[in-house]
Structure 1
Amino acid sequence: MRRFPCRRTATAAFLLAATACSEGGQSGVALPEVPTFEGTIELEIGDVDGDDPYLFSYIMDVVADELGRIIVADRNSAEIRVFGPEGDFAFHFGGPGEGPGEFGDLCCLGFAPGGELWVRQSARYSVFLLGSDGAEPQRVLRTPHPGQIGLMAPFTFDMGGNLVSVGPVSGNGGASLDARFRVLPDGAVDTAVMADAERQSVSQATVPFNRAGMSALVYLHQPFGPQWIHAHANGGTWADAVTSDYAINLHHPDGTVALIEGPALEGPPLSESDRDWAQTRMESELDRAGIGRHPFQIPDRKPPLADMFFDSGGRLWVVRTLAAGESVRSADVWDGTTLVAHYRWPSRIRNSPTPWATESALYGVTADTLGVQRTARVRFERR
């Protein structure tokens, strides 16, 4: 087995505003005292056996409407199931197919400003109006990302109600970059790359691959290295950051950018199982690329930030990285550039690709030791 060296790595975030640092490179920012909200799992929907609506194959996404109904996208059945606020099954719709009320595949769910449910698939978006006992298809919109199969990426709507779909574009050298595709009423698409290649590809390198007349790029990654992350809200606001630094660019609809800056944080150390996984992944990448030396090393610690997302009220949740064995996940919640709350909830909640949260609840997925998935709702109360 090849052994990869371990060392600390530091990656600079390329910010649009300068960060304030004290002597020694530590941020001088201290977060203000704000309320803390503790979350507990109050509802789980799903079972090992029983009625079909409660048997999930693989849950792709979960959202909730203004009535508190819970809407779940199930991949293998290619259908969407709607449950009442207390978990009682209401109705389902979809199923595999190419018709206006059917799905080729499923990714993500979201609501337009008018309350319509949008369903993202590889080839198209399907739009539905949810009633009390069924869903009425409204229209179908071709995806602005033709040829992309199995794309897992968020979508939102701008201030005018136009679809903003996140997806890849080809950059220099053939490497892909993430961009925001705004679909205008006349069908034209306004495309904006969200960050330069250096920022988007942090902890990532490419090498050319040539075998049996086939040419391609092979992507190599630093396991547990810093990652470029982004989040999107209805209305046109979005944010991006590099997970090694608590410094977040908040992009406003008018094109201006504000900086959310938190304290200097040290991520949790890697466990032995983390190191074993990292070495296995790097060996696999070397074999796939046909090269003898990996461009990255295994870091001593994980980045301090894990993820971020906007809730239904437009607040940004900045989720911190869990240490091995920790049972509670935590997030700092920002309204614009003002910290307004800390939230904590059980770590066994798995976020869907586009997490759905409100001021008092968060929706996600749990799985037991048998791999049986359930839709879950966390309820928050001020501590």
Structure 2
Amino acid sequence: MATKVWLALLCCFPVACRGAVADRGGPPAAIRDSAGVRIVENERSAETSRLGWRVGPEPSVSIGALEGEEPYLLHWATARMLPDGRIAVANGGSDEVRVFDPSGRHVATWGGQGEGPGEFSGLTQVARWPGDSLVAWYSHGRSMSVFDASGNFGRSFSLQSAETESWLRPRPVEARPDGTILSLNDPEGADTAVVEIRDGEGALSASLGTHPNMIVFVETDEYGNRELSSPAYGPALRLALWGELVAVGHTSRYEIRAFRADGSLARIVRRDDALRAPVQADLGPFVEAQMSMLSESGFPAEMLPDARRSLESTPLSETFPAFSRIVADATGYLWVREYDYPREERPAQLWSVFDREGRMLGFVETPRRLGILEIGEDYLLCSTRDDFGVQFIQVWPLDRSATGS
């Protein structure tokens, strides 16, 4: 039996050609325009080359503890930096927004578990909102609430849909400080998803179309129950708000499409990349990684043996993903994380950085075990865990002044 969904809980003719160019020492890029769409074809540089940007040797702020005062005990937390340097932590374990000053000292707690105004059930994320306000989403993205800079509740709303079935309702992915919401409609069991842009009331502003998502197999057991599965190392859809654009990539190939606010395609960014196929020896690391996620998530211990047997029968994807993640930073650069092949561990996470036009500048390293939540002009806001599984929200300094090598 392949991996089940509950285990995961855990074209046109060119009209102009600009030839090959290089930017700031990065690899050559062929740029052309095709029917109003800018196409940027990047060559891949040697993996040993570096852009020169450096992450500090240790975090400047670290929030979290194994034991101690409750606000510092984090469970299923994510975070965003507020305009005044405070850090808003969405602590999913307690359904609270915990606010820390720039030094990491707890100063306020907003919300809490419940169904009243300003309360949450299933808090998942926070983001900056117009002015100095903040928006939080919860109940699997079904609801969003707005708070002012002091934590006073303003209003709640949900993403509006013409469909009445709850399983067809869109969910937020990211939000901009101007009130723009990037949403995704990916019904369970579907191998495609609809990407949309919404306004600050949750109403549809533009559709970016239907895009391939995870490869999904649907099976029916002897009792007639549907079981959904996907291959090991299968491709997936990746999204990011990239300046005024929306970046959409599918990890089956190294290609990222950037859409305007009206839903039209503005740019296609590609990079030479030879896809590799996994072999049977790669299944073991996949199984262990999934089992570790299940254990950390509190999956019932008595069900773990069945989960392992199911994972061990998971089919392999035809190829490894071309990349892992895409993240846009505060200055308009796009960071694409290189895929880490099993049994070939890198000493650090490796990212390809692209400029605002989509030209690759070079590679940047970030420390292992850091889950990047936000990239500012001079910092990384991250989530990490220590050897005991204790979660921390940390700020790491980022120096962009160095030259590449």
TM-score, reference length from structure 1: 0.74
Query: After superposition, what is the alpha-carbon deviation per residue over 1:130-172, rounded to whole angstroms, capped at 9, x for unaligned?
Result: 13xxx111111124477359998512249xx45424232559x
Pairs aligned (count): 340
- On the 8 A contact 2:218/2:228 being kept in 1, the answer is yes
- On the 8 A contact 2:146/2:156 being kept in 1, the answer is yes
Q: Identify the range of structure 1 (263-272 vs 47-56) with the bigger mean alpha-carbon deviation.
A: 263-272
Partner of 2:331: 313
Give 1:349 shift: 0.7
Partner of 2:230: 221
- On the 8 A contact 1:267/1:321 being kept in 2, the answer is no
Distance across 2 between alignment mates of 1:94 and 1:149: 28
Partner of 1:142: 158
Partner of 2:364: 343
Per the alignment, in what secondary structure is the counterpart of residue 36 of structure 1? coil
Partner of 1:175: 190
TM-score, reference length from structure 2: 0.70
The sequence identity of aligned pairs, in percent, is 20
Distance across 2 between alignment mates of 1:112 and 1:241: 25
**1:342 to 1:271, Cα distance in 2 relative to 1, 3 A:** farther
Partner of 2:174: 155
Distance across 2 between alignment mates of 1:98 and 1:49: 29
- On the 8 A contact 1:46/1:373 being kept in 2, the answer is yes
**Match runs of 1:162-241 below 5 Å:** 162-170=179-187, 175=190, 177-184=192-199, 188-190=203-205, 192=207, 194-196=209-211, 199-201=212-214, 204-209=215-220, 211-212=222-223, 214=224, 216=226, 218-233=227-242, 235=244, 237-241=245-249
Per the alignment, in what secondary structure is the counterpart of residue 306 of structure 1? coil
Per the alignment, in what secondary structure is the counterpart of residue 356 of structure 1? strand
Residue 81 of structure 1 pairs with residue 102 of structure 2 = no
Distance across 1 between alignment mates of 2:153 and 2:209: 32
Partner of 1:330: 350
- On the 8 A contact 1:331/1:344 being kept in 2, the answer is yes
Q: Identify the range of structure 1 (304-313 vs 139-148) with the bigger mean alpha-carbon deviation.
A: 139-148
**Match runs of 1:267-282 below 5 Å:** 274-278=282-286
Residue identity matched to 2:154: Q
**1:16 to 1:121, Cα distance in 2 relative to 1, 3 A:** farther
Give 1:74 shift: 0.8
Residue 102 of structure 1 pairs with residue 105 of structure 2 = no
- On the 8 A contact 1:97/1:104 being kept in 2, the answer is yes
- On the 8 A contact 1:243/1:305 being kept in 2, the answer is yes
Distance across 1 between alignment mates of 2:145 and 2:54: 36
**1:92 to 1:268, Cα distance in 2 relative to 1, 3 A:** farther
Distance across 2 between alignment mates of 1:142 and 1:166: 11
- On the 8 A contact 2:130/2:179 being kept in 1, the answer is no
Partner of 2:255: 247
- On the 8 A contact 1:95/1:102 being kept in 2, the answer is yes
* Unaligned segments of structure 2, at least 5 residues: 2-10, 15-28, 31-40, 291-304
Partner of 1:92: 109
Give 1:17 shift: 9.1
Distance across 1 between alignment mates of 2:181 and 2:241: 9
Per the alignment, in what secondary structure is the counterpart of residue 139 of structure 1? strand
Q: Identify the range of structure 1 (325-334 vs 335-344) with the bigger mean alpha-carbon deviation.
A: 335-344
* Unaligned segments of structure 1, at least 5 residues: 3-14, 21-26
Give 1:287 shift: 8.2
Residue identity matched to 2:346: E
Partner of 1:380: 398
- On the 8 A contact 1:111/1:118 being kept in 2, the answer is yes
Distance across 2 between alignment mates of 1:307 and 1:16: 28
**1:149 to 1:298, Cα distance in 2 relative to 1, 3 A:** closer
Per the alignment, in what secondary structure is the counterpart of residue 126 of structure 1? strand
Residue 125 of structure 1 pairs with residue 136 of structure 2 = no
**Match runs of 1:51-70 below 5 Å:** 51-59=69-77, 61-70=78-87
Query: After superposition, what is the alpha-carbon deviation per residue over 1:147-202, rounded to whole angstroms, capped at 9, x for unaligned?
Result: 359998512249xx45424232559xx62632234445776435636434xx324x
Output the aligned Cα RMSD: 4.0
- On the 8 A contact 2:379/2:395 being kept in 1, the answer is yes
